[in-house]
């Protein structure tokens, strides 16, 4: 919490004050009991002393957060208003569980959970970018968890329109992309991709990426390491080499070498899940005009549709210039904020996935570079995975393309698709997406299936399916194709 004294909690019609959650530079966050509907909420209230610029920033935060708050992994905004004493406030969902910032230094977070969190947050970031917003301050302390354990991205205090990203003042250095720390900062979606990957790095390493255990970790030290692209290696036997490679690519010093879209990072993380034989985390992406094609797949391949189912140094921030930054402060107490538990689509079946990996040679190189090398000396930049990351998406099993369905006169539905990279031994897994969220996958050797009328729940509704390619070694598509009858 901020060392200053918290302002008294204001009286809000329809809410009863519970307790203080925390405080920041321009606002305090309180827990209130909402009377109707009855639930706990987090209320962010501006301080009485803020100036007009801080009021404008608060209103912008409310507008930008509300624009994307329907995503299941973005904090939900319920209401905004002005309290009886004249202070502006923002009512949001309350996330009572420990934040990722509170967890990563105190517990060993398992690889499956980190992958799941990464996919879900990457989808949130992708949806945010499609809505024309860059966050600019993704970090562990801003990753909350709702009552169901789902990660929730919060704190849009320095978010900005994607076509007019004003230089971020006050972002947290340990997870900031190098272009944000330059004399002429360049904000953009790939900076958010970097910060998300750096956040996942922290969840695995138990520290921020450029922090040196028992070393100098002042703000200027961190900035220099970030600009050189030399994160401090970590060793965990349960972290596969391919995951090191994915994070290295997303944290490349050159933005052009990173994933072009946050969803591409999600696809790579799902590929690691497939390698480990884990259930693939669903992609929570809604349709949007002009939305990027998932993973570079043929635009006719899938339609993401609304199928009817559904411590030191951690939170150091600075204002420019870099060289005037004081020592990194203690981590802030996360203030915010839990999902109104509405039903979510769950349409991904448990795919058959092997544990054979197609990147053994790359993995060996990455292990040597990321685990054993000195971070600042003797680095061959030609071999550095952060400078020359491997395009891992191309190594995954592809998604079927051209998936389409038609209804027949007898009420049945026929679906067809194409395999973009057919190989000997390929087969397919397909299943009907149902309103219950339960998808029963079935194998087939052909590129078409017929669903009898008696197997269709509602003959007047469209029928939707998902299809995956399955290789002879039992690896499956990391992103199943989805399609519905026309």
Residue by residue, DSSP assigns 400-443 as PEEEEEEE-TTS-EEEEEE-SS--TT-EEEEEE--TTS----EE
Task: Lay out the sheet containing 401-407: strands in order across.
Answer: 401-407, 413-418, 448-451
Query: Cβ distance 338 to 94 under 8 Å?
Result: yes
Query: Cβ distance 266 to 122 under 8 Å?
Result: yes
Distance separating alpha carbons of residues 428 and 476, to the nearest angstrom: 8
Establish whether 137 is a catalytic residue: yes
193's enclosing H/E stretch is helix 189-205
Rg over alpha carbons for the chain, rounded to the nearest Å, is 23
Residue 118 DSSP one-character state? H
Retrieve residue 63's tokens. Answer: 């507008």
Q: Is residue 176 exposed (0-12), middle (13-18) or buried (19+ Cβ within 10 Å)? A: buried
Catalytic residue among 28, 137, 264, 313: 137
Distance separating alpha carbons of residues 76 and 237, to the nearest angstrom: 37
Retrieve residue 6's tokens. Answer: 């918290």
Residue by residue, DSSP assigns 40-84 as EEEEEEE-TT--HHHHHHHHHHHHHHHHHTTSTTBPPEEEEEE-T
Just list the catalytic residues.
Answer: 137
């Amino acid at each position: 919490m901020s060392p200053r004294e918290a302002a008294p909690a204001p009286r809000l019609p329809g809410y009863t004050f519970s307790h203080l959650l925390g405080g920041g530079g321009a606002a305090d966050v309180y827990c209130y009991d909402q009377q109707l509907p009855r639930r706990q909420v987090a209320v962010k209230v501006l301080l009485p002393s803020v100036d007009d610029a801080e009021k404008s920033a608060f209103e912008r935060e409310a507008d930008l957060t509300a624009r994307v708050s329907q995503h299941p992994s973005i904090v939900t905004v319920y209401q905004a208003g002005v309290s009886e004493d004249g202070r502006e406030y923002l009512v949001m969902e309350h996330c009572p569980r420990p934040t990722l910032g509170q967890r990563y230094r105190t517990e060993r977070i398992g690889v499956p959970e980190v992958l799941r969190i990464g996919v879900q947050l990457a989808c949130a970031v992708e949806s945010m970018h499609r809505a024309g917003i860059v966050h600019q301050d993704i970090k562990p302390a801003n990753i909350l968890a709702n009552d169901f354990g789902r990660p929730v991205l919060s704190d849009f205090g320095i978010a900005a329109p994607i076509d007019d990203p004003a230089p971020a003042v006050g972002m947290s250095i340990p997870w900031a992309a190098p272009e944000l720390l330059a004399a002429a900062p360049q904000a953009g979606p790939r900076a958010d991709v970097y910060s998300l990957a750096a956040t996942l790095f922290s969840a695995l390493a138990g520290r921020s990426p450029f922090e040196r255990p028992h070393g100098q970790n002042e703000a200027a030290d961190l900035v220099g390491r970030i600009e050189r692209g030399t994160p401090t290696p970590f060793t965990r036997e349960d972290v596969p080499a391919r995951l090191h490679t994915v994070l290295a690519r997303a944290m490349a010093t050159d933005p052009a070498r990173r994933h072009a879209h946050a969803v591409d990072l999600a696809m790579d993380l799902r590929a690691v899940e497939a390698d480990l034989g884990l259930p693939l985390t669903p992609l929570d992406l809604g349709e949007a005009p002009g939305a990027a094609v998932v993973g570079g797949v043929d635009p006719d391949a899938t339609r993401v549709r609304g199928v009817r189912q559904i411590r030191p140094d951690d939170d150091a921030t600075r204002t420019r210039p870099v060289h005037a930054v004081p020592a990194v402060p203690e981590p802030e107490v996360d203030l915010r904020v839990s999902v109104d538990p509405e039903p979510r689509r769950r349409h991904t079946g448990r795919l058959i996935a092997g544990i054979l990996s197609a990147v053994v040679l790359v993995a060996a190189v990455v292990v040597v570079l990321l685990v054993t090398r000195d971070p600042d000396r003797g680095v061959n930049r030609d071999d550095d995975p952060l400078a020359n990351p491997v395009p891992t998406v191309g190594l995954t099993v592809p998604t079927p393309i051209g998936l389409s369905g038609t209804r027949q006169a007898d009420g049945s539905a026929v679906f067809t698709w194409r395999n973009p990279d057919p190989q000997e031994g390929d087969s397919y897994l397909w299943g009907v997406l149902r309103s219950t969220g339960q998808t029963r996958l079935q194998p087939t050797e052909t590129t078409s299936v017929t669903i009898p009328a008696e197997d269709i729940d509602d003959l007047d509704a469209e029928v939707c399916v998902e299809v995956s390619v399955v290789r002879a070694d039992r690896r499956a598509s990391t992103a199943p194709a989805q399609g519905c009858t026309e």
